[in-house]
Amino acid sequence: MKIKKVNIAQKLKSFSEYWSPKVVGELNQQMVKIAKFKGEFVMHHHDNEDEFFYVINGELFIEIEDQTLNLKAGEFVIIPKGTDHKPYAPDEVHIMLFEPSSTLNTGNVDNNLTLADLDKI
């Protein structure tokens, strides 16, 4: 097994599509993912997994039941399993996600944004 470092900025420059997480690492059945978000996603939840959102740069909003979270660069939030949430970003935002490999990006919703097989970059 070759151990190598990962340059997040270079990885982010390698793709342009929104709402399409890319796997940049794996450990202990967990995936480290990066993504670019812009616009609105879908309200959803994950029955069995918590979800970690870390803002690399930009600004992310996440609607949950009784509030809207506003995350800026250097901030993160953990959305507990079973919690309905809807991420959105008026402008492009770069995100790091850390979650079990079983986590489907749209959780309990199956629509045109659902990605079962993620690209590894």
Give the pLDDT confidence score for residue 115 in this predicted structure. 58
Query: How do residues 38-71 score in pLDDT, each as one tens digit?
Result: 999 999 999 999 999 999 999 999 999 999 999 9
Cα-Cα-Cα-Cα torsion 7, 103, 101, 37, nearest 10 degrees, comes to: -10
Query: How do residues 6-34 score in pLDDT, each as one tens digit?
Result: 999 999 999 999 999 999 999 998 999 99
pTM: 0.88
Q: How many CA atoms within 13 Å lie on the side-chain side of 32?
A: 10
Give the pLDDT confidence score for residue 110 in this predicted structure. 72
Helix (H, G, I), strand (E, B) or coil at 77: strand
Domains and CATH numbers, the chain: 25-104 (2.60.120.10)
Q: How many CA atoms within 13 Å lie on the side-chain side of 111?
A: 10
Of 42, 14, 38, 36, nearest in space to 113 by CA: 42
